[in-house]
Structure 1
Amino acid sequence: MKENRYFQMVYLLLEKGSMTAPELAKHFEVSVRTIYRDIDILSAAGIPVYATQGKGGGISIQDKFVLKKSVLSEQEQTQILMALQGLRIVEDEDTRALLSKLNSAFQKQNVNWLEIDFSSWTKSGAGKENFQKLQSAIFESRVVSFLYYNGKGESTKRVVEPLKLAFKSTDWYLYGYCSMRSDFRFFKLTRIRNLEITKDRYTRPIPDQIFTEAEDFEMETIQVTLLFDKSMSFRVYDKFDDEVTETQDGSLLVETVMPNNELLFRYILSCGDKVEVLHPQSLRDKISERARNIAEKYKT
């Protein structure tokens, strides 16, 4: 975005002191002509940026210039710091430096409102590393390639234009345009392997909303009725929240919609004998069949 380039250019010149137009053009990957046009726009906005000719010359901002925090309200200042704090979760050096500068400029203490750990309780995963790489790829509009494992354990090589990182339910996803499918797709970060940022760039705009518009994110679903033993309350309320009805004997009745795929079977079987499928009958039959197959494996 142009506005983001203007903002970065001001801070870059404040930090470096002076840079040539070709250096700025290379940094932002635009033409020298565009840089001079940006300088004119910044000057018109009241920022004292100027260019000097000859050896040792370049583009600079007057030494006494400071970014006026008065152009932003107190609420806007806090919102900016909170947004940057969210990005800082992935330990990005540029973001930390910018956050420090703005904290100083706004005379505010660090707004530590968010903390995320990408690893599980038992082991570290690839989620954080993938998040960092994809963040860089999205900011630079670069195409990525990776090996992706679907829910059946099958792997495919994907080339994707990364558009957004999104958190849905309990997992992080990449939303982007997949060249193999010729369509927009969601990719679970923990299923991405061998992620590489390519030199290719894309110009596809980033959508404002994705979950409300992307029907393909929603799996095929099925209406189910489950009866849990009261000892499973910690798991039941974690997953189903306000869909739980407590019966007279303390059992927990859940009527909900769940994915009609392997995830459903894995969840029910993970509850062992502490859950009973009441509806539909077809699901009861499949669970019963799987239970028989499991029991058969343990016969001596």
Structure 2
Amino acid sequence: MRASRLISLLLLLQNRGRLTAQQIAEELEVSVRTVYRDVEALAESGVPVYAELGAGGGYQLLDGYRTRLTGLTPQEAGSIFLAGVPDAAAELGLGAVLATAELKLRAALPARLNRHVGEVRDRFHLDPAGWFRETETHPHLSALAAAVWERRRCRMRYRRWRVPREVDRVIEPLGIVLKAGVWYFVARVDDDLRTYRVATILDLTVLDETFERPADFDLARAWAQWAADFEQRLHRDVATVRLAPAALDRIPYLMTRAMARNVEAYRTEPGPDGWTTVTLPIESVRHAHAEFLRLGADVEVLAPAELRDLMRESAAAMSRLYNDVD
């Protein structure tokens, strides 16, 4: 266990540079006293680690020191190659870079680990794209990725759902996210953080101006917060429905994640007929109407009245259609 921790400490200093004992302790989830002992053990083993005292000090490796790719377990080596998503890298303009990096990494691995990597590739494949969706085109993704990397401002013209439909913005792109096969990016506009879909970009000009990234910006945290807020904003209303047992089984496959969660969290005990009453978040009455029609006769809308009326009208129209006799 300690050997694994020492390797983690070494790689942490190699990749992050100077760190205080407290920062190392938080990263490795150990006590500061344990960090002192581990740093001493690294130094005794010949690793050139030293401490700088005073404000801004900490532990760091001697400039230029790099450890080789040893100590990898077969599972760790395999996971590195499994994590690569070639199509996504190609869209970012990094396809050739990824291929070269993989060749270099495999050349550095012992033969035993190389064989394991090949076995992982034969047995597992990652396809992050969603089902039944037309592939979006992203002619500006590669330039946007370069602007993120180089901290360059951009002038963007994009399409949105409300009027005016086409809008110009000067943005400071901070990060790019691939979610279920759809590309998004987070950017600072004036002093606000905003999230856009890459496919909505109509024109993008990378400017010569650079910008400073916010010191406290964390892409994963910013994305998680935006996604949670988006889901909450999207489902602004609620509907009360009765669901047949068959509908309960199909909800996770047909409805949104928020609806499925509410079914599990807020449904009542089934009645004598086996039906369950539950209140579900909905985007709008019109949207819910289309969603609930997918459940056919296995759902009864109780409220709101406008949604119940729409369901009644659709049921009556289908009845007339199928009972019409020539």
Output the TM-score relative to the length of structure 2: 0.52
Structure 2, unaligned runs of 5 or more: 1-13, 18-59, 321-326
> Contact 1:147 / 1:157 at 8 angstroms: preserved in 2?
yes
Show the 5 A alignment for 1:1-300.
Answer: 44-46=63-65, 68-70=68-70, 77-83=77-83, 85-86=84-85, 89-91=88-90, 92-106=95-109, 107-108=113-114, 109=117, 112=121, 113=124, 115-116=126-127, 118=129, 121=132, 123-126=134-137, 132=142, 134-144=144-154, 145-150=156-161, 154-166=165-177, 172-179=183-190, 182-190=191-199, 192-200=200-208, 201-205=210-214, 206-207=217-218, 208-214=220-226, 216-217=229-230, 218-219=232-233, 221-228=236-243, 232=247, 235-238=250-253, 239=255, 240-241=259-260, 243-244=263-264, 247=270, 249=273, 251=275, 253-259=277-283, 263-264=287-288, 266-268=290-292, 275-278=299-302, 281=303, 283-285=304-306, 288=309
Distance 1:264 1:148, change over 3 A: farther
Q: How far apart, in 2, do the equivalents of 1:258 and 1:146 lie?
A: 31
> Contact 1:223 / 1:258 at 8 angstroms: preserved in 2?
yes
1:178-227 CA-partner distances (Å, limit 9, x unpaired): 34xx411222345x142525134332244251145447534163343333
Structure 1, unaligned runs of 5 or more: 7-40, 48-66
What's the C-alpha RMSD, in Å, of the aligned pairs?
A: 4.7
Output the TM-score relative to the length of structure 1: 0.55
Distance 1:293 1:267, change over 3 A: closer
Q: How far apart, in 2, do the equivalents of 1:262 and 1:130 lie?
A: 34
1:136-156 CA-partner distances (Å, limit 9, x unpaired): 443333344241323789443
1:113-154 CA-partner distances (Å, limit 9, x unpaired): 55336476363322x656555444433333442413237894
Aligned residues: 235
Higher relative strand content: 1
Structure 2 SS opposite 1:277: strand
- What is the identity percentage for the equivalent residue pairs of Structure 1 and Structure 2? 18
> Contact 2:236 / 2:283 at 8 angstroms: preserved in 1?
yes
> Contact 2:237 / 2:283 at 8 angstroms: preserved in 1?
yes
How far is 1:168 from its partner?
Answer: 5.7
Q: How far apart, in 1, do the equivalents of 2:133 and 2:174 lie?
A: 31
1:46-95 CA-partner distances (Å, limit 9, x unpaired): 46xxxxxxxxxxxxxxxxxxx72127666654554344x03653422211
